[in-house]
Amino acid sequence: MAAVTEGADVLLPQGDVITVDLAHSTVRELNAALHAPDAAERASTWLVTSPEGKHSLACGLDAELTVEIAGHAGYYCAGMNQRATVTVDGNVGVGVAENMMSGSVHVRGSASQAAGATAHGGLLVVEGDAAARCGISMKGVDIVVGGSVGHMSAFMGQAGRLVVCGDAGEALGDSLYEARLYVRGSVKSLGADCVEKEVRTEHLDELAALLLRAGRDEDPADFRRYGSARRLYHFAVDNAY
């Protein structure tokens, strides 16, 4: 391993691991290195040490990179990810994998608010809990949370799947469009226009596949499904608030 430090751009043979120690390098240097056209060729894995809760780590990636962050990350970790595989061995701040398009982000700890916000694609796994507004305005991403999610999760969710292995807080799926929600534990309350729906075979199948991708061993049969009643799709006096 070699440390990439300011002014010392280290080129390593293909297949090696490049370590970026944020105690000595800046976030800008890290992201610039990860954005470089040859970033995937330079190393099989980019290891980020001493993240110390810094913001915007590994954001805007657009290559088949493997990035491992050894510690806690701040806001917008892996934001707008495309194609890369990012693992955080710690907790993450607000907006992890926000607007992700593809690839995967795996958080071994818990996530703050707005995890996976507005994300269009890819897979976000949070092994611990996710706070309020998990999956807010989600647009196609798959999110699997090993623990519980906070209030207003999947608010205005448009597409994609949110799987909660624990409990869901208040107003789950408020003003939902077409996102599909699966919750194994209790739901404190459903938001406006969110209703429980029948779990059919195709739902068990897609849930099993999602859990498998996320490395989970829960039984799909233990989950309940929630979705949009589609009563808010058109303005009308009877559904005004």
Partner 1 sequence: MDRDLAQQGLRESATFDRATIAAIQHAAETGIYDIRGGGAKRKVPHFDDLLFLGASMSRYPLEGYRERCDTDVVLGARNARFPLHLATPVTIAGMSFGALSGQAKEALGRGASEAGTSTTTGDGGMTPEERGQSKQLVYQYLPSRYGMNPDDLRKADAIEVVLGQGAKPGGGGMLLGQKISERVAGMRTLPQGVDQRSACRHPDWTGPDDLEIKIGELREITDWEKPIYVKIGASRPYYDVKLAAKAGADVIVLDGMQGGTAATQDVFIEHVGIPTLAAIPQAVQALQEEGLHRTIQLVVSGGIRNGADVAKCMALGADAVAIGTAALIALGDNSPKHDEAYRALGSAAGYYDDWQAGRDPAGITTQDPELASRLDPVLGGRRIANLIRVMTMEAQIIARACGKAHLHHLEPEDLVALTIEAAAMARVPLAGTSWVPGQGQL
Total of chain residues touching partner 1, rule CB under 8 A? 45
Q: How many CB atoms lie within 10 A of CB 230?
A: 12
Contacts of 189 (CB under 8 A, 6+ apart): 170, 171, 172
Please give the Cα distance from 220 to 62 (Å, whole number). Answer: 33
Return the residue of 20, 84, 111, 117 that touches partner 1, per CB under 8 A: 117
Pick 30 or 190: Cβ nearer partner 1: 30
Write the binding mask 53 to 72 for partner 1: x where contact by CB under 8 A, - elsewhere: --xx--xx-x----------
- List beta partners, residue 194: 228
Does 182 bind partner 1 (CB under 8 A)? Our answer is no
2-3 sheet: strands from edge to edge = 2-3, 17-21, 45-49, 66-70, 85-88, 104-107, 123-126, 139-145, 159-164, 180-183, 224-228, 194-197
Write the binding mask 142 to 171 for partner 1: x where contact by CB under 8 A, - elsewhere: -------------xx-xx------------
The site for partner 1 (CB under 8 A) is made up of 27-28, 31-32, 35, 55-56, 59-60, 62, 74-76, 79-80, 82, 94-95, 98-99, 101, 113-114, 117-118, 120, 133, 136-137, 139-140, 155-156, 158-159, 175, 177-178, 232-237, 240
